[in-house]
Amino acid sequence: MKLKVEEDMQQSFDLYFVSSNYHKYQEAKNILDSFGINLGFFKHELEEIQSLSLKEIAAKKAVHAFQKYKKPIIVEDDGLFIDSLSGFPGPYSSFVFNTIGNKGILKLLKRNRRAKFVSIISFCNNKNSKSFEAKVDGTISKKQNGQGWGYDPIFIPKNSNKTFADLSNKNELSHRYKALKKFSNWYLHNLESNDL
Q: How far apart are CA 163 and CA 97, in angstroms?
A: 17
- Confirm whether 78 is a catalytic residue: no
Q: Which of 8, 14, 33, 77 is catalytic?
A: 77
Strand segments (E) across the chain: 15-19, 39-43, 73-82, 89-90, 114-124, 129-140, 155-157
- Computed on alpha carbons and rounded to an integer, the radius of gyration of the chain in Å comes to 17
CB contact set of 168 (below 8 Å; sequence gap of 6+): none
* CA 109 remoteness from chain centre: 24
- Which residues are the active-site residues? 77
